[in-house]
Amino acid sequence: MIKSNKAKNQIISLTKADGTVTTSAKQISSLFVDYYTNLLGKNSDCPRMENEMIATGPLVQEEQSLQLISPVLDEEIKTALFDIGDDKAPGPDGYTACFYKKSWTIVGADVCEAVQEFFRSRKILKQINHATIVLVPKSGNASKVEDFRPIACCNVIYKIISKILASRLSNILEDLIDPAQSAFIPNRSMIENIYLVQELLRKYHWKRISPRCIMKIDFRKAYDTINWVFLEDMLRVMGFPDIFCKLDNAMRYNCSLFHIHKWNIAWLFQGTARKLRGLRRNPEFKHHPKCADLNITHLAFADDLILFTRGDTTSVRLSMECLKNFGDYSGLSINKHKSNIFMAGINSEDMEEIKAITEFNMGTFLFRYLGIPIAAARLTVETIQPSNFPDIGPYQYMGRDKSVLRWTNNSFWDYTPAKQDSQMLRQLASIRDRIAILEGTDLLALNRLNQWAGTGKFNAEAAYEFFRPRGPKICWTKLVWHHSIMPKQAFILWLSMKERLLTKEKMIEQIEDTSCALCGDQIESVNHLFFHCSTTYQIWTEIRGWLGFSRALTTLKAAAKWIKKEARGTGAQAIAKKTGFAATVYFIWKARNAKIFEGTPIQTTSIIRDIKIQVYRGLYEKFPNLQHL
């Protein structure tokens, strides 16, 4: 199996730039080394950007600067480490985050000292700053160097430092990043970009429409061609403290990979946004007909950029000059072969001139934006099925018009449905009109709707709660699925809490003997089996005394409610009570099944021993130095 995977992961052939194919391992290695040396290892010759252009926007405040350069505490380092997934690939040193977590009591002090030394000296060891490049094919038939995506596997110490810097930056990003940028900020959603683009592209297939133009920009190797000097200028002019800028530089310089952090990409495209914002002040620039009132010139999601202009040569030329000027400073260049332009309402002569200015391909519908199919008209099954979009993921596009801009400044009660609007919108408008007719006026109709809301004000949330009311709150969910409980034991406990275990009481119509399999005294129900049975009572008595349960347990739900209250926190006692409760239910059920189906006699001492072993095993994984409960 290992040999098979190793052979499968090897790159056995590669197509050179001249079209010839090589199978030599030495030549294949040289091709990759030369490619990434030219891509990542060259010094930038870009000119310095004027500070006035960068400074036209929000700046870092003094309080925020103090937060960025405050001392790094041990707890902050530990939090950053434990936030790294155990399944993340190791760096060149071969150690994973899981290793550091498991041995934190041994290596924790040294790790904290290494990280804090970086923040004190603003210098990082080259061995820590190294990374391994893993090449992942972009498709199943990758044959050229460009067909492989480089993935950086960094050392854990490097990841910890990166996470600390990222965590501190995340607190101020929302104040600095342009509103048109939907990435990097937790409360911003790319779905808003998708809705807006879909709305702006509607009616593009009409012949009689005001001239308009949308450009979908693709940057060539945006994550690899950044001008680091430009980023330094961006950070300093935006008001970042000098110490923080030096920390950021130390993470990049002398690095074998020039590892890119997402915040560097954020600053890079923040510069793009500030440059494009200058178009609004140019009297020769004309907005897209649907964007003039909202003053929108562009949308961005990380390095996915879309420009909106009026369909005239002057506006398009100004936009392209803006991007080219910014590219000269930042190192970014537009991939004209992958960029597209969508035009409508423009005569053929101007259209050809605009295509000559941009050198972009003419975009066609259907196309994807952020993984979602976009069309000029309403999507149908026939239009989507031939394209077979496999990467839509969790976003299930419903194929209906999203009239976002229509209600930006208007009320739904003033909305007049148009012929091209979706059937759903027209049905909603029809229902609204019927309600208004029955009540007499729109105001009376609105008051009527407000009566249904508990707060006295009708909204979508109130309507949703009315048609789909919430069920009773379940208090034991977090206990049952606690991470310290084994999955198979959690599953049995969940079935028990839901009363879904197939006890004899549940099968009373299929079997004759419904007496308890352990004591034989009463009908075997969930509560009897786990609490009222004389055999399980002996088990619970021993476990209660061992774990320090201060009260008798009579039903599963009452026991779960009590344990949730008593076993709070993440200490050894709390973990022991949770795992002990789940393990007791599991081993009682296991012993019951063994007696019924295998004829194994019940031995309470053996069951108690198995429960204690299970609890101790789980505790020692989390608390290696634990002496006793």
**392-417 pLDDT per residue, tens:** 443 343 443 444 444 444 567 777 88
Burial of 433 (0-12, 13-18, 19+ CB in 10 A): middle
SS3 479: helix
One domain, residues 496 and 543? yes
Integer Cα distance of 283 and 14 in angstroms: 52
Average pLDDT, rounded, for the chain: 79
3 state SS of 222: coil
Mean pLDDT of 213-218: 87
In a domain, 602, yes or no: yes
User: How far apart are the C-alpha atoms of 434 and 440, rounded to whole Å?
Assistant: 10
Which of 32, 22, 27, 10 minimizes the C-alpha distance to 147?
Answer: 32
Q: What is the dihedral of CA 39, 43, 44, 49, to 10 degrees?
A: 140
Sign of CA dihedral 65, 66, 71, 74: negative
Question: What pLDDT, in 10s, does the model give residues 242-292?
Answer: 777 766 666 655 444 444 455 556 666 666 666 676 677 778 888 888 888
Same domain, 234 and 253: yes
Q: Residue 209 domain-assigned? A: yes
Q: What is the 3-state secondary structure (H, E, C) of 275-297?
A: HHHHHHHCCCCCCCCCCCCCCCC
pLDDT at 353 over 50: yes
Domain interval for residue 450: 410-467
pTM summary value: 0.52
Q: What is the pLDDT of residue 250?
A: 60
Residues 509, 609, single domain; the answer is yes
Tokens found for residue 607: 């069951």
Same domain, 348 and 201: yes
In the predicted structure, residue 586 carries a pLDDT above the cut 90: yes
364 vs 578 pLDDT, higher one: 578
Mean pLDDT of all residues in 189-210: 79
Residues 453 and 490 in one domain: no
Q: Do 462 and 499 belong to one domain?
A: no
Yes or no: say if 508 and 537 are a contact pair by the CB < 8 Å rule.
no
Look at residues 441, 467, 493 and tell me which one is the last residue of a structural domain: 467
The stretch 601-615 carries a mean pLDDT of: 90
**Of 324, 350, 384, which marks where a domain is finished?**
384
**Residue 375 identity (one-letter amino acid):** A
Domain count, the chain: 3
The model's pLDDT over 438-479, given as tens digits with 9 standing for 90+, comes to 888 878 887 877 776 666 777 777 777 777 777 777 878 888
In a domain, 589, yes or no: yes
For residue 361, is it within any domain? yes
How high is the pLDDT of residue 495?
92
User: Is the residue at 246 inside a domain?
Assistant: yes
Domain end: 467, 501, 516, which one?
Answer: 467
Q: Taking the CB of residue 167, how many other CB atoms lie within 10 A of it?
A: 13
| Interatomic CA distance for residues 405 and 413, integer angstroms | 15
Q: Which residue has the higher pLDDT, 484 or 181?
A: 484
C-alpha distance across the termini of the chain, in Å: 44
What mean pLDDT is predicted for residues 89-97? 89
Count of C-beta atoms within a 10 Å radius of residue 495: 16
DSSP codes, 402-436: --TGGGSSS-GGG----TTS-HHHHHHHHHHHHHH
- Asked whether residue 106 is assigned to any structural domain, the reply reads no
| Same domain assignment for residues 519 and 458 | no
Residue with tokens 């930038």: 44
Non-local (6+) Cβ contacts of 6 within 8 A are none
Residues 179 and 213 in one domain: yes
Do residues 196 and 302 share a domain? yes
375 & 495 share domain: no
Residue 345 confidence class, pLDDT cut points 50, 70, 90 = confident
Structure tokens of 169? 């930056």
Better-scored residue on pLDDT, 290 or 6: 290
Tokens 């995977």 label which residue? 5
- The pLDDT tens digits for 161-197 are 888 888 888 778 777 777 777 777 766 777 788 888 8
Asked, for residue 511, whether it belongs to a domain, the answer is yes
What the block records as the tokens of 30 is 């040289």
In whole angstroms, what is the distance from residue 342 CA to residue 213 CA? 6
* Residue 331 sits in the same domain as residue 434: no
Question: Which residue spans within 155-209 are E strands per DSSP?
Answer: none
The burial class, CB within 10 Å (0-12 / 13-18 / 19+), for 566 is: middle
Q: Which two tokens stand for residue 562?
A: 């009590």
pLDDT value at position 273?
A: 67
Residue 525 lies in a domain: yes
Same domain, 245 and 357: yes
